[in-house]
Amino acid sequence: MKIGIIGTGGIATSAHIPNYQSAGAEVVAVMNRTKEKGETVAKQFGIPNVYETVEEMLRHETLDAVSICTPNAFHKTQVLQALDAGCHVLCEKPPGISENEAKEMLQAAKRAKRTLHFGFHYRHRADTELLKRMIDAGEFGDMYATTALALRRRGIPGWGVFTDKELHGGGALLDIGVHMLDLALYIMGYPKPTEVLGHVGQYLGTRPGVGLLGEWDATSFSVDDTARAMVKFENGASLLLDVSYMANLEQKDVMRVECRGTRAGATLFPLTVHTEKHGALFDETPAYLEQHDPYARQIEHFLKACQTIPDYRQAEEAVILHHIIDRIYA
């Protein structure tokens, strides 16, 4: 398959380009707003063509699929451009910056009859895949509660434009919260939300302080550093969410999902399953589980999906995800 990359920053060079290449796909073109950056990356990975605009790349190349690795505010427009040009699309997370954008992307995928996936690599971890197989086999009974935590003690990114509301659409919630929110919803089978109670704020990001992920500019910090929510669903289940970029916590960094079913519960990461058997309470962990790189797995999964019937499921889920995020911000 012939692949084009839009945006040649951190995630493109660490996850997308090398994993396409090792999966046997041909990355034939890159596009970056700053062309010199695109040229440097093309040279590094042996990619023949470099473009300065998406239009130019789509006009000159015959691409099967495109990865979108730009700041969040550009995702929707570039997803639509690539789909309308007949490409399958793997867009980095978050899908967009609002429910309306997610709806536009879903319609565009259906119109183009092309697969649209998003960069939720936690779904592709070996322990998540195992948990999902167990849930799908009915071993957890009815899933009635989940808790999703994405907490950093001092973790505002010191690179990119993550603290700029205009370019990223949101902060901790849209950047790291979205990973664990998606994962909890995925584990629950993406039920329909009926009520959302949310709390977002800027408490520490606007003041200078210790930066464990580099120095950020507190004077221009325009996004949320805190987001907390409770979501209730049509099927009676509920989800609790707790997210921070920077907070006075004990833990340095927590990415965690807990789920509770009527027959078993589980904690990720790593996977522990909690059950009751024969009058005793068990905590079970896999003694052997073959590991793989979740980013590589995601690319393999995307390439495979491009070769069968168009897959709109993730685009449909993105509408629910962004509905919840919109309600939390509201």
Residues that bind ligand NAD (CB under 6 A): 6-12, 31-34, 37, 69-72, 74, 92-93, 119, 121, 160, 175
Q: Taking the CB of residue 298, how many other CB atoms lie within 10 A of it? A: 23
The pair of three-digit structure tokens given for residue 69, joined into one six-digit string:
């690795």
Sign for the CA dihedral angle at 178, 25, 68, 32 comes to positive
Distance in angstroms (rounded) separating the CA atoms of residues 226 and 14: 27
Distance in angstroms (rounded) separating the CA atoms of residues 167 and 162: 8
Q: Provide the minimum distance between the beta carbon of 187 and ligand NAD in the complex, in angstroms, as a whole number.
A: 18
CB-closest chain residue to ligand NAD: 9
For residues 241-270, b (16+ Cβ closer than 10 Å) or e, as one string? Answer: bbbbbbbeeeeeebbbbbbbbeebbbbbee
The residue among 120 and 140 lying less far from ligand NAD, judged by its C-beta, is 120
Distance in angstroms (rounded) separating the CA atoms of residues 126 and 141: 22
The residue among 180 and 229 lying less far from ligand NAD, judged by its C-beta, is 180
The residue among 31 and 231 lying less far from ligand NAD, judged by its C-beta, is 31
Answer yes or no: are the C-beta atoms of 268 and 131 closer than 8 Å.
Answer: yes
Pairing of strands 193-201, 226-233: antiparallel
Distance in angstroms (rounded) separating the CA atoms of residues 222 and 170: 8
| Residues whose CB falls within 8 Å of the CB of residue 34, separated by 6 or more in sequence, listed in order | none
Answer yes or no: are the C-beta atoms of 97 and 174 closer than 8 Å.
Answer: yes
Amino acid 271 reads L
Q: Provide the minimum distance between the beta carbon of 225 and ligand NAD in the complex, in angstroms, as a whole number.
A: 16
Q: Provide the minimum distance between the beta carbon of 67 and ligand NAD in the complex, in angstroms, as a whole number.
A: 10
Q: Provide the minimum distance between the beta carbon of 206 and ligand NAD in the complex, in angstroms, as a whole number.
A: 21
Query: Which of 180, 106, 99, 102 shows the shortest CA–CA distance to 147?
Result: 180
The residue among 171 and 265 lying less far from ligand NAD, judged by its C-beta, is 171
The residue among 11 and 188 lying less far from ligand NAD, judged by its C-beta, is 11
The residue among 186 and 233 lying less far from ligand NAD, judged by its C-beta, is 186
Answer yes or no: are the C-beta atoms of 48 and 57 closer than 8 Å.
Answer: no
Angle at 243 (CA atoms; ends 319, 222), nearest 5 degrees: 85
Q: Provide the minimum distance between the beta carbon of 88 and ligand NAD in the complex, in angstroms, as a whole number.
A: 18
Q: Provide the minimum distance between the beta carbon of 178 and ligand NAD in the complex, in angstroms, as a whole number.
A: 8
The pair of three-digit structure tokens given for residue 201, joined into one six-digit string:
């704020």
Q: Provide the minimum distance between the beta carbon of 66 and ligand NAD in the complex, in angstroms, as a whole number.
A: 12
The residue among 119 and 265 lying less far from ligand NAD, judged by its C-beta, is 119
The residue among 4 and 261 lying less far from ligand NAD, judged by its C-beta, is 4
Q: Provide the minimum distance between the beta carbon of 296 and ligand NAD in the complex, in angstroms, as a whole number.
A: 13
